Structure 1
Amino acid sequence: MTMPEQPTEPQAHAVHIDGQPGQATIRIGGEALPPGTVTGYVLQHDISAALPMLILHTRQPDGVAFQGLARVAVGVAKTSADQICEFLNAVDPERLDQEALNRADYGGGPGATARAMLMTLTEWARNTEGGTR
């Protein structure tokens, strides 16, 4: 069995979403998805990327595992705790120690080093490049 050729670039489709609390009507290429099919959606757009990405969460008709076209990516969603642990595991402890102690706002007193480290980690978390190995 031969597989059909897959496009190398994602295909763009015209999308119209009329979202109301508790319901949404979604049209793809002018065709409305059947009522009750979509249970949720995520619209994600990185401004520097060419196109936004729409992820639809669907409910399929009884007896049908899936019906339709899809690009499939398999992964496990990360929890906030997983992301925090991943970030902390990538921190260079020597650099954290040095930068925390050299902060201009290092005030001294009880908890000063921990406070300076937490402030440094917060800054690094906002800019994920800094402070990691």
Structure 2
Amino acid sequence: MDDQLRRVRIVSGSVGGWVEVDGLDVSRQVSGYSLRQRAGQAVDLVLHLSPAGQGEFDGLVRVAIGVSHDPGPAAAAFLAAIDARELERHVLARHDLLDGGPYEMTRGMLGLLREWALGQGAPEVVA
């Protein structure tokens, strides 16, 4: 993050608005922004690469350009590493996930995948 303070003016509303950094209109490059301030510190502005907020801000801030996190590639890599046989075996062994209701196997698999993604009860790695 750039420690140099920059002059920023933000005007937004339901119809439109703009974002200026050091007098330069960057509205076309900005899809959103976040303003944050801690007591006794300068305001932090994160610009996300069509203004969508409401209100107006005019002051000195530190500027950081944010990139939205896309969980797709990480989720795809996680799912590609799952052994279908192990997943089915673990779900069938978990009687707490099997209640006889509709889609119980799918619900059980999704619940188990969620736990594994969080590192809870991950299957043993077989070498």
Q: Name the TM-score class by shorter chain.
A: 0.3 to 0.5
Tell me the TM-score normalised to structure 2 length: 0.43
Q: Which has the higher contact order (CA 8 A, sep 6+)?
A: 2
Q: Which has the higher helix share?
A: 2
Tell me the TM-score normalised to structure 1 length: 0.42
